[in-house]
Amino acid sequence: MNAKLDVIVIGAGFCGITVAASLKKFGINNFIVIEKGETVATIWKNAYERLVTQNPYFTLPFFEGKGKYSTFKTKDEMVQYLTEYAYHFQVDSHTRFGEEVQSITKIYNQNQTDNYWQIQTTKDILYSKILVICTGLNNEPVIPNFCGQECFSGRIIHSSAYKNGFSYKSKKVLVIGSGNSAAEIALDLYEHGAARVDMLIRGQRWVFPLYPRLRSLQYWLWRSRSYFKQLFNQTTTDTRIEAMERAIDFSPEELQTYIKETDKFIQRFALDLSAYSIYPEDKGPMDVEVNQGRVAWVDRGTVKQIKKGNIQVISSNIQQLTKTGVIFANGVAQDYDAIILGTGFRPSINKILRQPELYLNVNDRLLPKTDSKCQSIVDPTLYFVGFEKIVGASATYGYYGWCTGKRIALQLLERPFLSHQKLQIRL
């Protein structure tokens, strides 16, 4: 397949399938989605078994799903929902599963009027006018190296490879990290009978209770309000697209103001865990999430076990690994059978698209330079969806994807940013 496509979308997660759905609805059919996994939402599919979304509001634009889903979707429900979404918008027929992008090159013609992207995959060489990268912030595990690691006789894995605690029964396990994955894995290990579970928390972290019943009530009140608003105000597809565009149309100054106001409100609900050497960050939780990519720890039961002494918190750094365990910087030595790294992820887009001028270095992560609406400020035929500084990412990823699809359609049709009515969109 070497014919030139209008659009290539890389990644079939939240953002990728929403961009694809929008392209279809705005009249663009000469596109494909490349996904290295065998299904949509590969990261969710491969995640540990007890993973559950922390946001009850998660639905993508114009489709809530035919199945009966939990208010807080499990990993399997999330994959099923995204699969339904792709099928509903006929995106699955455009998706090439089990194919991974190896390199991306911009080809410049002498006339400078018909430049295009060349994408080398594990199966083909593809060409397109416009390229959309939706590989996300959590594309590659961050795996630190420790002094003496080669001597350790136990198992060391990243949280991305963890499934459940069955094989760790009666084992001594050290979980490194203070994010949601580390906290939930530590709890899972304890509930599966691990002999000892320690959490190494080296930095500061905001910790909040989940309050699932309160969040569920809030969600259903929001749903009821939305229903009656549509019933009496005759909400249409056009007005919903306009609302999405307004929701992501803000200046950097407006974003920071909103972050400051949000932090002032939600900080009062944070848990005080200073007695266990867990301290809040210097900046607010929303500020840290949006500007540094560090999501607050939303507790699902780990804190209770920490308070009971069933999960121990270690605040010292690792000095070195030994054959049987760890020597910490405070001089304490402890034996472990396994170490699980809840050390996060990085985007790693630069490994397939090696153009340094496209990126900013933010906290040792290379993030794309965009106009805050997903379009590269370096190349107008390049889009990065899912990398923006936004509040409530899971609630707005679909907005960015849908509006990006519309923007690309207008770009290909060489039309200004006209109203959607003139494109005759029907859902």
Confidence of residue 290 (pLDDT cuts 50, 70, 90): confident
Q: What span, in angstroms and rounded, lies between the C-alpha atoms of 229 and 189?
A: 45
Cα radius of gyration rounded to whole Å, the chain: 23
Q: What's the confidence (pLDDT) of residue 1?
A: 53
Q: Work out the number of other CB atoms within 10 angstroms of the CB of residue 257.
A: 12
Q: How many helices (H) and strands (E) does the chain have?
A: 10, 21
Phi first, then psi: what are they for 200, rounded to 5°?
-90, 110
Question: Which pLDDT score is estimated for 55?
Answer: 73
323 within 8 A of 331, measured Cβ to Cβ: no
User: What's the CA angle centered on 87, arms 84 and 92, to 5 degrees?
Assistant: 125
The pLDDT value given to residue 69: 84
Most confident of 28-37, 66-75, 201-210: 28-37
Which pLDDT score is estimated for 420? Answer: 37
| Selection from 352, 351, 369 nearest residue 361 by Cα | 369
| Residue position matching structure tokens 């919903």 | 240
Asked if 420 and 237 touch (Cβ cutoff 8 Å), the reply is: yes
For residue 308, the number of C-alpha atoms closer than 13 Å in the C-beta half-sphere is: 10
What domains lie within the chain, and their CATH numbers?
4-139+347-423 (3.50.50.60), 142-206+270-341 (3.50.50.60)
Contact yes or no for 340/357 (Cβ under 8 A): no
**Contact indicator for 180, 54 with CB cutoff of 8 Å:** yes
Tell me what pLDDT residue 246 has.
80
pLDDT at 327: 98
Angle among Cα 239, 244, 248 to the nearest 5 degrees reads 145
Residues 6+ positions from 417 with CB-CB distance below 8 Å: 407, 410
DSSP, res 122:
S
Name which residue leads in pLDDT, 32 or 245.
32
Gap between the Cα atoms of 284 and 268, Å rounded: 11
Residues contacting 232, CB < 8 A, separation 6+: none
Q: Across all residues in the chain, what is the average pLDDT?
A: 88
Residue predicted with more confidence, 46 or 293:
46
Q: How far apart are CA 325 and CA 192, in angstroms?
A: 21
Angle of helix 237-247 versus helix 393-412 axis, rounded to 10: 110
Report pLDDT for 112. Answer: 63
142-156, 207-221, 404-418: which is most confident:
142-156
Q: Which of 68-72, 95-99, 107-111 has the highest mean pLDDT?
A: 95-99
SS3 state of residue 345: strand
Q: Which residues pair with 339 in a beta bridge?
A: 156, 174
Amino acid at position 24, single letter: K
Mean pLDDT of 347-365: 89
More confident residue, 427 or 238: 238
Cα–Cα distances (Å) from 46 to 38, 43, 96, 162, 400, in that order, read 11, 5, 18, 9, 25
Indicate the DSSP class of residue 414: T
Q: How far apart are CA 238 and CA 201, in angstroms?
A: 48
The reported pLDDT for the residue numbered 418 is: 41
> Smallest Cα–Cα separation from 298: which of 220, 187, 425, 378?
187
Crossing angle of helices 75-88/14-25, nearest 10°? 20
DSSP 63: B
Q: What is the mean pLDDT of residues 50-67?
A: 82
Whether pLDDT at 268 is above 80: yes
pTM of the model: 0.90
pLDDT confidence bin for 427, thresholds 50/70/90 = low
